[in-house]
Amino acid sequence: MRVLVTGGMGYIGSHTCVQMIEAGMTPIILDNLYNSKSSVLDRIEALTNVRPAFYQGDIRDRAFLDAVFKENDVEAVIHFAGLKAVGESVEKPLEYYDNNVHGSLVLVEAMRAAGVNSLIFSSSATVYGDPASVPITEDFPTSATNPYGRSKLMVEECLTDIQHAYPEMSITLLRYFNPVGSHQSGTMGEDPQGIPNNLMPFISQVAVGRRESLAVFGNDYPTVDGTGVRDYIHVVDLADGHLAALNYKGKDAGLHIYNLGTGNGSSVLEMVDAFSKASGVEVKYHIADRRPGDIAECWADPAKAKAELHWEAKHTVEDMTADTWRWQSTNPSGYPDA
Ligand code: NAD
Ligand code: UDP
């Protein structure tokens, strides 16, 4: 199966390409390298002995997309490309709506023109806003509290209308919970530029000595230990969720929505503790104010994905922290510049 992977050089996309190649699929990567490095391709090749086709360019460039579709007999698209930092989206809403919303629409136009009807879209648990209860099922109401979340919600809504108008299309919205971890080899992982916004990369940079101390954003939430609780999911499990979505729903016309999470919540302090154990390094932290917009707890009910995609997360928090440490300790500065 030949699949165009937009954003395939990024964190989740690169791990998904490895899993696809190992399952006998052919990923064709399209990425503008805004948030990734071309050396990712060498790492994919080293792991799989396959160097996927790579097109450097932007999903907002229709002529470029048309050329890629013309050169390749694409059967389906997995659409990871986009911007993802919540705080930055408040500062730069235009860039977020342009990349995430406009970019997705140009991509779907090009798919229509090329006769490609199967799309998997990277959505997020952020579309559930502040959920009334946990665990969260796919029929919970959706809302957004920042431009990033709103851009994901807008794309979900656009794709719903598009699928309604073109019923021959298969569109799958995958709502990710908190992707963490690295390929078990330690050769691929998350490589954020600048100061990490997310918990796991921050913890691992403290452990490796790149940062002084983790600021724990609030310890007065109504949770097990007062710190925020999230559903951390190993990136390789998440990658496999895309393969399952392609296999079970990719040819099935309709709109399909799934949570990709483990169904378990872990607090910030539990993650710090697990990381300290996995790395043998005591992770320094201090309690800081709550981060505006954060919610107390969020975890998935992953039953629908299990029943319909025959997929469930297999990796434990211990795997997530051990694999992150293997990547971080052997690649302390992330991927090399090509
Ligand atoms: P990432 O930044 O590592 O990967 C995204 C890739 O898309 C990058 O390689 C970047 O260079 C590329 N890109 C960005 N804009 C582009 C454009 N206009 N044209 C072509 N390429 C472009 O991010 P990730 O963590 O791998 O996330 C992938 C997707 O999953 C994103 O859509 C993100 O919003 C979504 N998501 C991520 C998380 C998370 O915590 N990582 C959670 C929920 C949803
Ligand atoms: N968090 C924290 N310090 C950090 C980054 C995150 O205490 O430097 C907390 C955050 O408040 C939340 C959890 O870790 O409770 C996960 O945050 P992340 O940004 O990784 O994911 P999201 O907020 O999108 O769920």
pLDDT tens digit sequence for 246-288 = 999 999 999 999 999 999 999 999 999 999 999 999 999 999 9
- Whether the pTM exceeds 0.85: the reply is yes
- How far is CA 211 from its chain centroid? 24
Whose CA is closest to atom 39 on ligand 1? 179
Residue among 247, 245, 268 at smallest CA distance from 257: 245
pLDDT tier, 55 (very low <50, low <70, confident <90, very high otherwise): very high
Q: What distance in Å separates the CA atoms of residue 130 and residue 296, rounded to the nearest whole number?
A: 8
Paired tokens of 328: 């971080």
**Position 210 pLDDT exceeds 90:** yes
Whose CA is closest to atom 19 on ligand 2? 198
Q: Averaged over 138-148, what is the pLDDT?
A: 96
pLDDT at res. 285: 98
Distance 34 CA to ligand 1 centre (A): 9
Phi, psi angles (nearest 5°) of residue 102: -60, -45
Distance 268 CA to ligand 2 centre (A): 7
Mean pLDDT of the chain: 97
Q: How far is CA 328 from CA 162, 181, 331, in A?
A: 41, 10, 5
Any atom of ligand 1 within 6 Å of the Cβ of 176: yes
Residue among 231, 205, 229 at smallest CA distance from 302: 231
Structural domains of the chain sorted by starting position, each given as residue range(s) with its CATH number in brackets: 2-180+232-263+300-313 (3.40.50.720)
**Position 338 pLDDT exceeds 80:** no
The one-character DSSP state at 128 is: B
Peptide bond before residue 167 is cis, with ω within 30 degrees of 0: no
Atom of ligand 1 lying closest to residue 123 CA? 44
**Position 197 pLDDT exceeds 80:** yes
Phi, psi angles (nearest 5°) of residue 313: -70, 140
Mind telling me the catalytic residues? 148
Per residue in 6-54, pLDDT tens? 999 999 999 999 999 999 999 999 999 999 999 999 999 999 999 999 9
Any atom of ligand 1 within 6 Å of the Cβ of 189: no
Whose CA is closest to atom 14 on ligand 2? 199
Any atom of ligand 2 within 6 Å of the Cβ of 217: yes
The dihedral over CA atoms of 89, 91, 93, 94, expressed in degrees to the nearest 10, equals -130
Q: What distance in Å separates the CA atoms of residue 323 and residue 337, rounded to the nearest whole number?
A: 22
pLDDT at res. 43: 98
Whose CA is closest to atom 4 on ligand 1? 10
Q: How far is CA 146 from CA 158, 194, 229, in A?
A: 18, 21, 20
Q: What distance in Å separates the CA atoms of residue 247 and residue 285, rounded to the nearest whole number?
A: 43
Distance 119 CA to ligand 2 centre (A): 30
Q: Averaged over 76-89, what is the pLDDT?
A: 96
Any atom of ligand 1 within 6 Å of the Cβ of 151: no
Give 148's contacts (C-beta < 8 A, 6+ positions apart).
83, 84, 85, 86, 88, 89, 96, 100, 126
Ligand with smallest separation from the Cα of 213: 2
Any atom of ligand 2 within 6 Å of the Cβ of 294: yes
pLDDT tier, 137 (very low <50, low <70, confident <90, very high otherwise): very high
With the most atoms of ligand 1 within 8 angstroms of its CB, the residue from 5, 9, 29, 31 to mutate is: 31
Give 315's contacts (C-beta < 8 A, 6+ positions apart).
181, 233, 234, 236, 237, 323
**Position 293 pLDDT exceeds 90:** no
Any atom of ligand 2 within 6 Å of the Cβ of 230: yes
Distance 225 CA to ligand 2 centre (A): 15
Any atom of ligand 1 within 6 Å of the Cβ of 327: no
pLDDT tier, 303 (very low <50, low <70, confident <90, very high otherwise): very high
Distance 222 CA to ligand 1 centre (A): 31
